[in-house]
Amino acid sequence: MRKEHSLIAVLLVFLAAIGLTATDQVPRRIVLNWYGDAATTAAVTWRTRTPATESAAQIQKAAPSPLTPADALVVNAVSMELDTGTGATVWTHSVRFSGLEPGTLYAYRVGCGEHWSDWNQFRTASADQRAFRFIFLGDLQNDLASQCGRVVRASVLQAPDALFMLHAGDLVSRSWRDDKWGEWFAAGEWIYRTIPQLMVPGNHEYRWTPIKKSSDLTPLWRPHFTLPENGPEGLNETAYTLDVQGMRLVCLNPNTAVREQAAWLDRVLREKRSTPWTVLLMHHPIYSTGRDRDNRELREQLLPVIDAHGVDLVLQGHDHTYGRTFRLRGGQRVRSNRGGTVYVVSVAGPKQYPLNPMYRSIMARMAADRQLYQVIRVEKNRLRFDAWTADGALFDSFELKK
């Protein structure tokens, strides 16, 4: 055996003896988010198994020539120790990029010392109104390791130019189990590192605490993501808003404080803005498509606001079926060619429910026992929605016009 190989072997034995390996500082669970202006900011979050002092991200404009770390801007990470609930701790790291140029392709990597991720690329949004596509996924939740990756991959193959991806909650089934989050990240692999991910929590990201008589958000939510903090007080990174190339996106968290969020939504939509399109993302549906389900409080609190401000599209999950309404106002079908809101419920994972006949009269399309993904194209005066099944068949589509 060569001398250097002998030294490496001795070092590895020593590290193993004290409970460490050379891979414990390798970045894992890397995810790209937006936390502010989609045209000039971005955020990346990751973890290591042991403390990785001086963790950072390196970022530079993408180029056709090989990337040189010396040319990159270094942004130091905010790091914290995290109890995973398994008796072991990990260290999470997050970096916020700012001052980026709109509509620009960037390359970044994260790590420290000798342990760095590969270079990943992403594009910032444009500062003006410009056509774009994004992907919407309902609940992944179950059998993440075996049945969800194909849907995530199929969506990106269908829309490789997607500017971002939306997740309507229930990302995992048991959100207090760290290994389930590991499966969620494995299902998205490199996709979550290169396309900004925006998500809201579902009921499976909450757990009832009898002593407190309240539901608490899993402690693994915020350490995994770096999302906007401009929502109602106490709902940081679970309810928020941002504008993207002529579309105002508002993400809601119906698991708690619905009345407060309705008032906040009203303020957000009253603001003077130049975004012609308004899209809401939330977990629980306004009009339930799953049998024996109904969310009356959401209709009482949110429908008056949605109707008053002419929200165009509401994207939802929770009911593990597919349902798309006609254009509605006040729960009634809008017969004209303009106005009204379309409500969509969809499911990306394999967990499926029977259909709810309660709202069939206002549904343009309903289906059960299908894993789906949605690709939505937004233009200045037109929004096109396409729902695809996991095997690549176009299942439903519609257009909205301004």
The DSSP-derived string for 170-227 is --BS-TT-HHHHHHHHHHHTTHHHHS-EEE---GGGEEEETTTTEEEE-TTHHHH---
Phi and psi dihedrals of 243, rounded to 5?
Answer: -105, 140
Are the C-beta atoms of residues 277 and 312 closer than 8 Å to each other? yes
Q: What percent of the chain has pLDDT over 90?
A: 87
In angstroms, what CA-CA distances link 90 with 27, 77, 84, 93, 192? 11, 15, 7, 10, 20
pLDDT at 16: 44
Q: How confident is the model at residue 335 (pLDDT cuts 50, 70, 90)?
A: confident
pLDDT at 274: 80
Q: What is the largest CA-CA distance in the chain?
A: 81
Q: List the structure tokens of 232.
A: 């109602």
Are the C-beta atoms of residues 68 and 62 closer than 8 Å to each other? no
Are the C-beta atoms of residues 5 and 167 closer than 8 Å to each other? no
Q: Shortest CA distance to 283 belongs to which of 250, 252, 256, 312? A: 252
- Using the CB atoms, write b or e for 320-334: b if 16+ within 10 Å: bbbbbbbbbeeeeee
Q: List the structure tokens of 222.
A: 């915020």
Q: How confident is the model at residue 273 (pLDDT cuts 50, 70, 90)?
A: confident
Are the C-beta atoms of residues 163 and 123 closer than 8 Å to each other? yes
Number of DSSP helices (H) and strands (E) in the chain, helices first: 7, 26
- In this structure, of 7-11, 43-47, 145-149, 231-235, the range with the lowest mean pLDDT score is 7-11
Alpha-carbon torsion angle 27, 32, 34, 38, nearest 10: 130
- Is the pLDDT assigned to residue 10 strictly greater than 80? no
Q: Please calculate the CA angle 386-391-393 and round it to the nearest 5 degrees.
A: 40
| Side chain identity, residue 80 | M
- In this structure, of 2-11, 58-67, 312-321, 332-341, the range with the lowest mean pLDDT score is 2-11
Are the C-beta atoms of residues 172 and 141 closer than 8 Å to each other? yes
Q: What are the pLDDT digits (tens) for 218-255?
A: 999 999 999 999 999 999 999 999 999 999 999 999 99
Q: What are the pLDDT digits (tens) for 148-181?
A: 999 999 999 999 999 999 999 999 999 999 999 9
- Is the pLDDT assigned to residue 14 strictly greater than 80? no
Class assignment of domain 132-401?
Answer: alpha beta
Phi and psi dihedrals of 217, rounded to 5?
Answer: -70, 140
| Side chain identity, residue 106 | Y
pLDDT at 266: 97
Q: How confident is the model at residue 53 (pLDDT cuts 50, 70, 90)?
A: confident
Cα–chain center distance at 263: 24
Q: What are the pLDDT digits (tens) for 66-123?
A: 999 999 999 999 999 999 988 889 999 999 999 999 999 999 999 999 999 999 999 9
Q: Shortest CA distance to 233 belongs to which of 202, 269, 257? A: 257
Among the four given CATH numbers 2.30.130.10, 3.40.190.80, 3.30.70.1380, 2.60.40.380, the one describing domain 23-123: 2.60.40.380
Q: Strand 363-367 to strand 342-345: parallel, antiparallel, or no bridges (unpaired)?
A: unpaired
DSSP code at position 146: I
Spell out the domain ranges in the chain.
23-123, 132-401
- Is the pLDDT assigned to residue 4 strictly greater than 60? no
Which of 206-210, 335-339, 357-361 reaches the highest mean pLDDT? 357-361
Tell me the C-alpha distance between 78 and 92, whole Å: 8
> Is the pTM value of this prediction over 0.85?
yes
Q: Give the end-to-end CA distance of the chain in Å, rounded to a whole number.
A: 73
